[in-house]
Structure 1
């Protein structure tokens, strides 16, 4: 007998036993009120009533047991079906779902809860598989480049420019380092249990520091439009990385100018980073925050821009959400990213 069959049998036996005890107790109490058999008050009707009780109690218990058995049978069949389905599910076969019925009972709600849980597990597993595939693809290119350069250097050591060769190797290793660091940072940002090192942070100061660093490199002008020196409660290293990623993205796509501002609106700090590049297609405005998003401002291009790990904007959104805020791409001539963070100290 299966586990559910055992539960069904035991439940029926317990229900019948409990009901039998009650019926026997009530019948005994009622019989005690009747004249004893053979006594002067004993009449034919009394004897008939006594006989009905003797026969009716076992019959009532039998009918009760049958009703309990049939009622439990329907419920147990549904649970048995759910159990069979769940036994077929593993990390490879995640598409199975338990049958849902239109009944408004506990088992129907249980089946809905199980399917909802399975949907979340499948979505999480697919994200992990996609992450592994994308990370492997992006690591392959710099690794192949490193191997090619090393093979050429070993085969023709006298014909290479050592300085140029070393710079190419350094660039390839830097790409790999950036990807690995971003993967780690994104894993930390997505871990809801990972604690933030919260302390009062001046977002405007961090923004000015990152602008000063980015301005040393050749590229578009970076202009700080407005800054509000209002502290908020946040993780300084995570917020700094968020602003750096936004600036790196803007510098890569801008034609000549990038604008940054930090302003207070009600109980929110609003960070805007705007570039004068070609912008992003409307259909891709939310996709730019996906991990390893491979589009760029040019619709025909499917390659990730050089110097990008493909994780920068995903990190921006996760850091913003970790701090109770949002990150969006607004419609504009160029790319206009806006991060809103609650002012909490």
Structure 2
């Protein structure tokens, strides 16, 4: 860049100086020639009013013509300027003259020629000065541009050197950002990027650490029961051992499925499918599952129609996780509400449990977060349920928030864009849900009702 800027500056300046020099020499020659023309004209007028016929000299050519335009002794004049001036190199001379004429009382003309040697000498001198001065000026501007550009780009070199030395283990390093110009803004932008990369790297490291910790628990339980059965076969039987291993295996399978879902959500930035989904059907199906699996009172009287656009399977998983989260905290009752306005569908799930403290509401959507009241591993929760909810809602361009229910428990509110009539009309046959597939998905999810947050 430094070389390109310098060469560009020198090239532009060189073109401008050469063009200016040519114009200057041309204008100078024209002005000086006009002055010589005026001198010749004045001299001709002067001689025409004088009775004395002055002969030619080394610095002036003078000729007198008769009425016919011929010289008194015969022959033709050196030039015929008419009423203006003409530039001619007369025969026998090695330089140009400017000729002008003035009429005589006798009917002839007096023709005066002034040499252009001074004009040529002046333009030649200026041309020589420009031939030397233009390259020197270009060299001077090139040097100054090279030095100034180097100083301007020095912070860029420092930034590049610092960034080149930053590795995955040194994301805490930052580039210098002391200037307040465009380069300073670039440095601050790059530091912001490094901040985001560091947070993402730290979150990934925590994620891997937490996932490893969560997976060790069922693996250790399986190994413990297998070792006990091997060392003391009389203390257990095949049925008990199989039931224990199956439960721990299912627990590990659900955890792996959740981890894979979150990993895909991190990698997949595509918009959700353009499919109409009736949230009221999904809410009522989830409520019916809770009625069959728990002794809680499930209130769906405030569930009305609500249609959005997106992935029906993912939205069913989102409602499933919200319901399971409420079921683990509720004492006697869970309430679902579903309403919509002109642009938004609003889903709430509330319970009459202890609620979520205000200080914890901003972190319950993080991965592997379990509040103190629900940290028991017997419930199977790995702290991923609400993280999955947040990922699904964000992919569907919605928001999820936590509040307090009328009974004092937790209230989780999901807002998503409503499917308008215009958007729904453009879907065609490709927009219909695969009902059989979704029912199968619900059945598979029902088996893991107790595994989420």
**TM-score for both structures, normalised by structure 1:** 0.88
Q: Deviations over 1:86-142 (max 9, x none)?
A: 11111111122222233333x233323322222222222222111111100111111
- 2:353 maps to which of 267, 272, 277: 277
Greater Cα offset, 44-53 or 196-205: 44-53
Q: In structure 2, how many angstroms separate the alpha carbons of the residues matched to 1:198 and 1:222? A: 31
Unaligned residue ranges in structure 1 (runs of 5+): 1-6
Structure 2 spans left out of the alignment, 5+ residues: 34-94, 96-114, 425-453
Q: CA deviation at 1:186?
A: 1.8
Q: Please, which of 3, 6, 13 is the counterpart of residue 7 of structure 2?
A: 13
Question: Does 2:312 match 1:312?
Answer: no
State whether structure 2 residue 194 is matched by structure 1 residue 118: yes
**Separation in structure 1 between the aligned mates of residue 319 and residue 356 of structure 2, nearest angstrom:** 19
Note if contact 1:178-1:309 (Cα within 8 Å) is conserved in structure 2. Answer: no
Q: By how many angstroms is 1:268 displaced?
A: 1.7
- Counterpart CA distance in 1 for 2:139 and 2:210 is 65
d(CA) in 2 for partners of 1:305, 1:195: 37
**2:399 and 2:415 in contact (8 A); partners too:** yes
Which residue of 2 is the match for residue 58 of structure 1? Answer: 135
Partner of 1:4: none
8 Å Cα contact 2:6/2:145 also seen in 1: yes
Residues 192-341 of structure 1 aligned to structure 2 (within 5 Å): 192-296=268-372, 298=373, 306-332=379-405, 333-341=408-416
Which deviates the most, 80-89 or 125-134? Answer: 125-134
Q: Displacement of 1:331 after TM fit? A: 2.8
Alignment deviations for residues 188-244 of structure 1 (CA, whole Å, 9 cap, x no partner) = 333443453332211111111111112222342322231112322221101110111
1:73 paired to 2:73:
no
**Which secondary structure state, in structure 2, belongs to the residue aligned with residue 201 of structure 1?**
strand
2:364 is paired with a residue whose SS is helix
CA contact (8 A) 2:403 2:411 kept: yes
**Deviations 1:5-24, CA, capped at 9 Å, x for gaps:** xx423532343234223312
Q: Could you tell me how far apart the structure 2 residues matched to 1:86 and 1:257 are?
A: 56
Contact 2:352 2:409 in 1 (8 A): yes
1:129 maps onto 2:205 in alignment: yes
**In the TM superposition, what whole-angstrom CA distance separates every residue of 1:232-268 from its partner, at most 9, and x where no partner exists?**
2221101110111011111111112111121223422
Whose radius of gyration is greater, 1 or 2?
A: 2
Q: What is the root-mean-square deviation in Å for CA atoms of aligned residues?
A: 2.5
CA contact (8 A) 1:294 1:304 kept: no
Report the counterpart of residue 162 of structure 1 in structure 2: 238
Distance 1:343 1:14, change over 3 A: closer
Counterparts of 2:324 and 2:306 in 1: how far apart (Å)?
Answer: 24
Structure 1 counterpart of 2:184: 108
Other-structure match for 2:108: none
- Alpha-carbon shift at residue 159 of structure 1 (Å): 2.2
For residues 194 and 154 of structure 1, what CA distance do their matches in structure 2 show? 50
The alpha-carbon distance between structure 1 residues 268 and 8, as it changes in their structure 2 partners (threshold 3 A), is: closer
Partner of 1:148: 224
The answer as to whether partners of 1:228 and 1:262 remain within 8 angstroms in 2 is: yes
Quote the residue 1:24 is aligned against.
18
Corresponding residue SS for 2:168:
coil
